[in-house]
Amino acid sequence: MAQSLACFSIAQSAASLVAELNAFAPTIIATYPTVAALLAEQAGRGSLRIALRELWTGGETLGTAVRGQVELALGCTVRNSYGASEFLNIGWQCHAGAMHANADWVILEPVDRQHRPVLPGEPSHSVLLTNLANHVQPLIRYDVGDRVRMPALPCCCASPLPVIEVQGRHDDALLMAGRGGQTVTLLPLALTTVLEDEAGVFDFQLRQADRRTLVLRLGFGGAPAVAAARRCHAALQAYARRQGLEHMRVCDELDRPVPKGRSGKAQRIVACKAA
């Protein structure tokens, strides 16, 4: 299948990504919900011209509004999945719209704050994962940090696999001021990758103050935080120039705790609602 598969970087500009997709003409795309929303926007403008059968999403929370927007603009079915670095295919959405845990490959245990089992149908504080497919590095009751709920009733699709509802990470796409009055969308997974891979920073939150200003919060202080902030500034400014931003300021909030979202994980990229 190697000749029929291709990977496309979400760190490149939207124009470059659209051009590469138009040239490759895929029939199925697997990506993040925020990227799917960007592709739907480009299709609505007439820039993206591909004929998809399905679009698969994962890695972020897929909202009902985004799903409808993508299906309408791209004219295809959207299928959602649930996974983690510790197990890529935890769950997959059936044709009835429910997420089913791959219980023959992974054991999921919804638990409270004391790691005690919660009752069926109750929201958990976290979930413990046991990987049944990894024979090289066993993972047994690993605390993933996601908040989930497992309804007691089976799905109407008749699958024997249990239904799981996931409150996943809610990172935002940032709408920034580009050159010539254009609006440039900065994707949350791309920003996270820039700060992790290029700046070597993992405990952070990037919050949008306005269309030209970002606030970088680091969960540690002192000289290490000052040096890390300097690396983050350089990486973000270089990324902003590649994306065609007119001008971008980055302000710092050092030695400040990074707040957790309802999923139990930090919301790393937060948009300004008035932007």
What is the per-residue pLDDT across 64-85, written as a single tens digit (0 to 9) for each? 888 899 999 999 999 999 888 8
Give the pLDDT confidence score for residue 223 in this predicted structure: 94
> Looking at the predicted structure, is the pLDDT value of residue 252 above 90?
yes
Contact by Cβ (8 Å): 40, 74: yes
Give the tens place of pLDDT for each residue, 164-176. 998 766 678 899 9
> Looking at the predicted structure, is the pLDDT value of residue 266 above 80?
no
Alpha-carbon dihedral sign for residues 25, 40, 173, 177: positive
pTM: 0.73
Considering the chain, what is the average pLDDT of its residues?
90
Determine the Cα–Cα distance for residues 252 and 74; give it in Å rounded to an integer.
39
Q: How far is CA 149 from the centre of its chain?
A: 20
Domains and CATH numbers, the chain: 1-84 (3.40.50.980), 100-168 (2.30.38), 174-270 (3.30.300.30)
Give the pLDDT confidence score for residue 88 in this predicted structure: 83
Share above pLDDT 70 across residues of the chain, in percent, rounded to a whole number: 96
* Stronger pLDDT, 216 or 152, i.e. the higher one: 216
The angle at the Cα of 268, spanning 18 to 86, to the nearest 5 degrees, equals: 85
Give the tens place of pLDDT for each residue, 123-150. 998 999 999 988 888 899 999 888 899 9
